Each structure stands twice: as C-alpha cells, then as structure tokens.
C-alpha cells in the first residue's frame, strides 16, 4: 500500500500514522491468508442455501470483511 496508495504513503511519511498503525491497517484490509486447507463433507448438508453432498471438497476462504461494499 505504501507503493500504490499515495494517501496512505503520505499519512505514514507525514507522521500522521505510526508504523504499527500502518501494519495493522494493511493486515486489516489485505490479510496475508486468503484460503485455508480444505475439508471433505462427511454427510449431505445445506449451508446458506447451497447443497453440499457427502464427499464434496469444502474450502473456507478468508478475507477482510470490512472492505465488502455491501
């Protein structure tokens, strides 16, 4: 973000943001972990309106929810 966002870079270099605050902001908006290991469903189940059959691979995707426009 320091290289691509001039406002972020200005806040950091201008002393309005400390390095720990900058690191926290980057981790909040762009977490380093996007996907965790997979699991296989052990039984048929419906989750959030989606049918998952026994044996289907399920992958949990993690992202920063605070940047969701909705």
pLDDT tens across 28-68, in order? 777 776 667 789 999 999 999 999 999 999 987 766 666 66
Element (H, E) at 47: strand 45-47
E strand map for the chain: 35-40, 45-47, 50-52, 57-61
Q: How far is CA 47 from the centre of its chain?
A: 21
Amino acid 40: pLDDT: 94
Beta pairing partners, 46: 51
Cα-based angle 52, 63, 18 (whole degrees, multiple of 5): 165
Residue 10's pLDDT band, with cuts at 50, 70 and 90, is confident
Amino acid 7: pLDDT: 83
Amino acid 33: pLDDT: 67
Q: How far is CA 25 from the centre of its chain?
A: 12
């Amino acid at each position: 973000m320091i290289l691509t966002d001039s406002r972020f870079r200005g806040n950091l270099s201008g002393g309005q943001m400390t390095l720990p605050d900058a690191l926290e902001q980057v981790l909040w908006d762009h977490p380093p972990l996007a996907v965790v290991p997979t699991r296989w469903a052990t039984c048929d189940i419906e989750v959030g309106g989606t049918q998952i059959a026994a044996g289907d691979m399920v992958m949990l995707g993690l992202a920063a929810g605070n940047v969701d426009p909705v």
